[in-house]
Each structure stands twice: as C-alpha cells, then as structure tokens.
Chains A and B, each alone.
Chain A
Amino acid sequence: MVVTAPSVEKPASAEELARVLHEAASSKLAVVPVGGRRASKMGDPVERCDVLLHTTRLDRVIEHSQADMVVSVEAGIKLESLQSELAKAGQFLPLDPFNSPGHTIGGLLATGWTGPLRLRFGSPRDYLIGIRVAVPDGRLASGGGRVVKNVSGYDMMKLHYGALGSLGVIVAASFKVFPRPLRDVTVSSQGGWADVDRALSTPIAPSALELFSGGRVLARYTGSPDAVNRVVSELGWRPEDDTVWTEHGGRAPDRWARVAVPRSELRRVLGTFPSGAEWWASPGIGIAHWSVATDASSVREIRSTVEAAGGTLALLAAPDDFTREVGAWGAVPPTLDVQRRLKQAFDPGGVLNPGRFVV
C-alpha cells in the first residue's frame, strides 16, 4: 500500500461539499470530515484517509429568529461564534462541551459531546430540530425543520447525532435555543458524594452538577431569582465565579476515557477505579470523564466493570497505539447488524471515516 498525504478539501458551500464527497466516493477514496479538530482522536484510528473534508468554511448563521427562539447554522461555525450571536438577543445554546473552545457545531453533533449543562437542558439530541446532511452519493438530505415541535417524517436528527460522520457529513443544523436565565449562580463545596446527593435533592434541581475525584463539587442553579436565591442560601456553599465553568470546559486529558452508566450505578462504578485515579463526573447524568494514567489492561478491566453495569467506556482521546490496544468502543452493540445495514444504505462504499466508528 502506497501511503500518500491525504488531499485537503475546504468547500465553501453545502452543494460544493456534497459534490466533493460524491466525487471522492465515486473514486472509492476514504473521506474524513474535519471540523474544529477538538475530537479528532475520538474513535479507532481510521484505516484509510484520502481526503480531509473540512467544514470550516461553512460558518454562517443561516437564520436566527429571536422571537421564535430558533437558529439555523452551517455546520462549520464555531460554538463560540454562535453563542456570541445568540447572546445579542439574550439567548444561548445550552451546550458546554469539554476541550473548548474551538468546537464546530457539526463536530459536536457528529461526536455527541456534551458538558455539565446537559443535566438541566439535555443534549443536542433534545434540542436539535433540523439537520442537513451530505450523503456519499452526492445528495443533500434534510430532516426536521425550523419549528420547535415536529413529527413530520422520520427523526433523521437522531440518526446522524453521535454517528461520527459514518452515514454522511452534517452541513447544517437548526436548534431550539433558550433565553438566558434570569439568575445564574454557581457554588462549590468539598463534600464529595454526600454533597452531590444534597444538591440533587434541592427543591429546584441544579442545572449543572459536577463532582471531581478529589471530592470537590460544583453546582449551578439557574432560573427565577427568588427560587435560586432560596436554594443557594439553604445549601450555604461557597460562591464561585462564572469563569470556573470556562476553566472546567477547557479540560482535555491526553488519554481520555468517557464512562457512561445508568445514573444510579455511577458511584459504585467509580469506586472500582484505580486508587488515585483522576476523574470528573456529572452524577446527575451518569457520565464520568477519566484522565487515564494506567496501562491498557487496567482500562479494559474498568471497561468490563462498566459494561457489566449496563454502561460503556469510550476513548475520547489517546495516542493511536494506545487506542488500538484498548479499542475505542468496547463491546459491540446488540443491534450491530441493523446498524451495519443502515451504514450500507447510506455509505455502501464504506468511504466515510473507515474503521473509526462501530459501523
């Protein structure tokens, strides 16, 4: 096999991107979509890469209707650019992924990365209302729309969200956005799990709640001022500055594993981690991020514990050799046959991100 440097394509429109993708697919060239390169180490190393297909020139806000609280954007727009556009109207997208800044919207949708605010607002799975995707045969296919409630046709948003570009390249998306909360307060404690339980049972639930392996707890309450003030004062924790979230969002370990288990299993599962393991978690959701400092075999050991608890351990970043040794995804899903047929239906030549995802 002759290894040559992949060609780099930076189309300026969705149509052009679809054409490039189609041409590559016709020539059986392997295509790796590229956004903000924040999650480029996620998944198994690609088997082949002939074309690096950048979405970064697709960076427009297509339409923001302030009154409707709906925004449509091209996939290559950076999350921060979108947030500052929305902020002008007192609105925001409740998405605060790690390894920020620099994520593109397309990348976030393809990888399914989320952050602490998922506790209150859910993931983009819950507020993505429309999507446009380029498929290897050169078609541009849309699903959903620009209205906040819609059951017209299949939910194509769910099909592509978190599919790591395995079925097509996301070129545009529409979201339901949210008004900036009237009050937004963050407090912290060093009380570990006991304080996690306390914060989760306050009369209004926190919008974000993070626990760190050292026992630190960060809780964020948003909503009507009187309610937030009452809850926060009852907790009596240390007030924190907003910047604590910017700092937190910047976290990105070199060897990074994401553990996702049923919420009620998280504490037990984290208890089986090697002593001194560094992690942070969203206990209200059931997700923990682990900065891996052990060898591949102990990661695999933890993975079997996680899978026995009904969860998954996925590598979000690691050197290629390490990823190959551990395997990015773990046990294959029981519906792999159906998923493969879907892959076959959209990407029969297997040109998109070959070998990177489970299908």
Chain B
Amino acid sequence: MPIHEVVAEELRRAVGRESVIVSPHDLRIFERDGSIEGAMPDAVVLVSTTQEASEVMKIAARHRIPVVPRGAGTGLSGGAVTIRGGIALQVTRMRRILEIDPVAQTALVEPGVVNQELSLVAAQHGLFYAPDPSSQKACTLGGNAAENSGGPHCLYYGVTTNHVLGMEVVLADGTVRWVSGDAPDRVGLDLCGLLVGSEGTLCAITKIKVRLLRVPPSVATLLAAFPSIEAASHAVSAIIGHGIVPAALEMMDNVTVGAVEAHYQAGYPTDAGAVLLVEVDGIAESTRELMAAITDILAHNQGYAMREAQTPAERELLWAGRKGAIGALGRIKPNYYLHDGVVPRSRLPQVLSAVGEIGEHYKLPVANVFHAGDGNLHPNILFDLRDREVLHQVEAAGEEMLRAVVELGGALSGEHGIGLEKAAFMPWIFTDDDLNAMHRVKDVFDEQGILNPGKIFPDPTRARIHLAGRTGLALEARWW
C-alpha cells in the first residue's frame, strides 16, 4: 500500500526531501535483509539525528504506520524486513563514534557505526569491542544491540547484552529516553537489559554506550582437523570438560571447509570431516600453557594436522575463512537457508547427526559452520532459489532441523533473533503463559503495535507458514 502523500510530506518536512524514498521501484531494493524473505516498505526514511528519528516515530504513531528500524540489513532472521509495510527507519547515516573514554573503557556510538569500525578506532587506545558477529565488517552496532548479536568470541566474552551499558532510545510515541548508563546497579527495573535483543519491537535505538576491553597482549589460534563431525564434537566437550573456556571454539564441516578454502586459501585441510578453530588469549604464559593443554586434549580425541598461527597475518587468514564461511557457500549453491538453534553442548553429536540425516532425506546439501563451544548450530541448507520445486523441501528440512534442536532441549535462536523466520515456532519452546508475559511487555512499550510488527510472536492469522507463501520468496519464485 503506497504511503499517503500527506504522510510523505510530513516525513519530508521532518528529515528533508532527499531523505525520504517512496518510489516503488527503489523500495523494492529495500525489501530484504540477509535472510531470504522479503517485503517492500512503503517508505524508506533516512534519519541523521535522534531528533529526526523521534519526529518520524511521532508521525508514524499519529498515522498508525509500522516502523522497522534498519541498519546494514545483514540480519539473518528477517528482523529488518517490513513484512507489514510501513516505514523502514534507516539509521546508517548515524555513524559517528561520539566518544571513546580510554580511562573508563567505554564508547558512545550512534547506531549506524559498523561493528568492526569501533574496534579499529578503539585499538588506538589498546582497547576493543568484544562481540564480533561474522558480519562485523558491515553490520551496525544498532542492529547488534537490537538483535543481541553474538559471534565467535562470545564464548568467553559474552554476547552484546553483556557489553551494552546504556542506550538512548526512541519509544513508540516518539519520546526519547536514556536507559541505564555508566554506573552499575541502577535503581529501578533494568529496561536496558530488556530492550537489548528486543528486535526493534519495543523501541528504536539512537545511541549506545558500550564497554570496551583491553586488547589481550597474547593470542594463540589453532586449527585442527578431525575425521568426523562427531569426533570434533567430542573434542569440544573434552576441552570444556577440562575446565578450559577458550576465547573461541568454532567448527566447520567438510562441505564448508571446501568452499572456504576455494576462496581464502587459508590452508584448511579439505580432506577433514570437520575442523576446529580454537583461540585462547591472555598473557604469553597463559596462552602458551592453555594451548599446550588444548593440543594435548585434541590429540587424544582424534585431532590431526594441527597448526598454530605463527603470525598475526596467519591468524587473520584463519579467521577470514571462518567469518566469510557462510558467504563462501555461495560457491556451491547461490542461496542458503540457515537456522541458528542452540543445544546443550553435550548434545552436539546427536543434533548434528540428526541434521545430516534430514539433509540426506531431502537430498539437500547441508553445510555446518558454527560456534561449537556454545552449542550454537548454523546448519546451512544450500539451494538455488531459481528452482521452485526445491523451496518446499528446503522449508520442511529447516523446520525439521529446528525441531530436532528443540527436542534435544535446545532453543530456537542463539544470536540471529526470532524475527520473521522463527516466530511461528515460538510455541515449541514457550507456553501460552510464557508468551502472555512477553505480550504484556510488548503492549506496555507499543500499545498500537506499530514497532516492527509481525516479528517474534507467532501470527495467529497465519496458521502455518510456508516460505514460498511469504511475500518475498513467492515474488522471487516468480522469476522463473
């Protein structure tokens, strides 16, 4: 539904003519994020200041138009997809790092600041920002806070919510508020903690105060090959079982290693059933000691071809392979459909064999690349969107994999968010009473239901979801 000209004019007055996009052809370009579903917004509004964001929200509230905050659009759960139309509130121009306080070890940033950019700037003070999603070269800190993003190094350092000290947010009525801040143990309810990870359904984020950490003086990164995913999973449990929590503990299966090696030539052993990337940091004494212990444990668990990065460049290359892994899968098939279910770590071998069986049953290639230390899976089902027939298979396989995760005591999402993609599955892990409590929170913050509608909560009007039945995919399927 095209936006009413009266509303468009109000928006233009609020942010300037250049910053409002209503041309339908251009809006098409904004219909997707990093996931595969899409739906066109009715307007894209670029805001440069908190004040502008607040004005836009007031206009939307007055006209009851949905508002969906959007950063770089790298999300993998459809969080930035305007499934009910409305305004895509684009924050990518709010990309200033407002302050870095090297003494307090904090940074104040705008939501459009790119994750990696903050660490690069903080490095001048010997500091870094710990959460490191694989899309960190492009994803924004606003998106990270909205999704409570994780990343490989969250095993040791914790996820986004553990690093956000406070935020300036715009509420559904357009009022601007600060929640939390530099001091610990603030009086009252922890709204900041509640809003981080609320996926744009409770507020729009306009400033973020984050904690920075000291760059560890010593880092050791090890690549190890295993004959099978099961063997690698056991090795993961063995490391943790010895009381060692590495900074990162990542697994890639054979399919992924092949794709990654083709692009990065990082020296990944392509014959391995699975590889583990293990990193420890600290001071030289501790990394040396821990790495020796880990190497020993891995060797006792069928690990072979172990290689420790000798230079920072080698380390970077090993990580480039891991962080670019999902994109590299494009070399096998042009599209992927991935979930990010989490299981208790000890269930990894079971869930991975279930994932493998499901893939075989549907005759779909599956590539696994994930945060093994956290039990956070990323099974990528590979397919070609141009093949209409395969869509239903992909969807069914994805759903079955997630079902397997839940049956093993797991959760629907470890770091990507529920978004659009997994909303219908929420009743698998939450009772009506659980969801009722979350609904109460939603209603307090967004009485009119204009903030990112259609996300997180199962939509009763759509009894059963079918990927192909949803706007974006159906649209793309018509390409052929």
**Chain A residues packing against B (C-beta within 8 Å):** 65, 67-70, 90, 112, 122-123, 125-126, 133, 135, 139-143, 145-159, 161-163, 166-167, 178-182, 203-205, 223-227, 229-231, 258, 260-265, 285-287, 310-312, 314, 329-336, 338-339, 341-342, 345-346, 357-359
Contact = CB atoms under 8 A, between A and B. Distances in A.
A150 B441 contact: no
A229 B286 CA distance: 10
A154 B194 contact: yes
A342 B441 contact: yes
Q: Which 9 A-B pairs have the closest CB atoms?
A: A158-B193, A179-B243, A227-B286, A262-B182, A141-B437, A226-B285, A224-B286, A333-B188, A67-B346
A150 B342 contact: yes
A112 B185 CA distance: 8
B147 interface: yes
A49 B376 CA distance: 45
A248 to B, nearest CB: 19
B323 interface: no
7 contacts: A142-B434, A151-B416, A154-B202, A156-B437, A265-B183, A312-B187, A335-B177
A358 B189 CA distance: 9
A265 to B, nearest CB: 8
A197 to B, nearest CB: 11
Interface stretch (B18-26, B311-319, B424-432): B424-432
A285 B184 contact: yes
A169 to B, nearest CB: 13
Given A150-B414, A151-B417, A226 B289 contact: yes
Given A135-B437, A147-B411, A203-B283, A142 B430 contact: yes
B408 to A, nearest CB: 10
Nearest to B241: A67
A151 B409 contact: no
A223 B286 contact: yes
Nearest to B418: A152
B437 A338 contact: no
B346 A204 contact: no
B170 to A, nearest CB: 13
A342 B148 CA distance: 22
A146 to B, nearest CB: 6
B104 interface: yes
Interface stretch (B33-41, B157-165, B392-400): B157-165
Contacts of A261: 183
B188 A158 contact: no
B191 A151 contact: no
B196 to A, nearest CB: 7
Given A151-B147, A156-B441, A286-B182, 16 more contacts: A133-B437, A147-B342, A148-B374, A151-B415, A154-B441, A155-B198, A156-B437, A204-B286, A224-B282, A229-B285, A312-B183, A314-B187, A335-B188, A339-B189, A342-B441, A345-B443
B274 interface: no
A151 B186 contact: no
Contacts of A141: 433-434, 436-437
